[in-house]
Chain A
């Protein structure tokens, strides 16, 4: 009897990377990648950026051409989902009732958007941005409407707001907390971006919670505790994501705000690994458990997961990094800077090119760079090597950080 295939559930960036790495590591057996969307694996970051603005079309978002899957002998099963993992039999129960055995299984199920919990949120002109279909719908709705409301001042909401301003739309953005991107960046960086969006004409309201959405004058009315907050033709909600852990949890795998995996991306079942947004993982670099939503985590953790599937004990120890594009500003984040006890600025806010370097107990823990890619890349290197950097060096333009990083 031939060996059962390796199966990957979830055809996003992490799922594709698992398959690609498996082939690079020399796995020659049958390999199946299952995805519930109808599209072959594609890049998500442009969905709130260049794709939304119409600068690129869907075909250019695909990670790989169709020939790639043939060449690497990866069987793509698109538009299909898995109902259940039968761990005792090492089999999957597919949506159509068929059963699929697996020798090793990778869960790269990603995350789904958190739905707006207030009354009236289920309306046709309320949009989310997670997959290509969402973004396509939003693109056409944006073409038809003029007044856009955005709920959520995180990366997605801010990127959409910036794009919409670029298209000449009227934009109001409501954030429940008192600052933007509060989970990811320091108050100083939040304030810079609040000014940036206001300077670009966004009506930005912080500390503003929407309680109800009602159909209004040709569109929507967003209401708060003390009445109408805003009127809009369409609404985009970007209030975070929820990891897709159901399959794992129902199969009895440990889940704690994510599918729990160790430094090898292994779950509690020796035949099952998990990678990407869906995992609560032991992050070798941070030295603690964390769930990360990023390209970096999807790619790097997937490589480790693939290694584990073929029996190699690779460890996932990578410096987290993220980026966001808003207007002509590139924000790049290295490490996890929050919480910090000392921060220093390198460069000048007035030039729209500066970085904040964060220190905890005297050690560099991260940096947010605004139009300063060298600082970002240097910080990643410094963090990866554990090179000591003083706040004074970080703040001084006389100190060449890339040189310090290269000297290691």
Chain B
């Protein structure tokens, strides 16, 4: 199963097996990765599952939709080039080994 590495603000990391088709938010929740709040349960409605993807990895991801782009304007932590909502990133084999960093605040 492809893996995703969740990096906490303190630098600690969790490597998690993510079934294809699951979102990175769901995988984080189901593996009890802290720092992903996901108040709306994946509806792209709350901007509390914000993550930073390493710039080099951005090309592996599907583009940001207009809705996600708007919600990223509303995150609690600053928006950077690598900002994504983890509920909007669906796992695929091509994303194996992806590292996402969790911001220090979501709300």
Chain A interface residues toward B at CB < 8 A: 43, 45-46, 49, 60, 62-65, 67-68, 71, 295-296, 299, 323, 325, 330, 332, 371-374, 377-378, 402
Contacts and interface: CB of A to CB of B under 8 A. Distances in A.
A61 to B, nearest CB: 8
Nearest to B71: A373
Contacts of B70: 372-374
A45 B41 contact: yes
Contact of A377 (B22, B32, B39, B47): B47
A402 B73 contact: yes
Contact of A60 (B22, B40, B44): B22
Given A64-B32, A330-B44, A330-B45, A402 B67 contact: no
A156 B48 CA distance: 24
A45 B45 CA distance: 12
Nearest to A400: B73
B101 interface: no
Pairs A-B, 4 closest by C-beta atoms:
A377-B74, A43-B41, A373-B70, A323-B45
Contacts of B32: 64-65, 67-68, 71
B5 interface: no
A373 B69 CA distance: 10
Interface of B: 22, 26, 29-32, 39-45, 47, 67, 70-71, 73-74
Nearest to A43: B41
A331 to B, nearest CB: 10
A384 to B, nearest CB: 11
Contacts of B29: 63-64
Given A373-B67, A373-B74, A65 B31 contact: yes
A24 to B, nearest CB: 10
A64 B41 CA distance: 12
Given A45-B43, A65-B30, A374 B73 contact: yes
A235 B42 CA distance: 28
B68 to A, nearest CB: 9
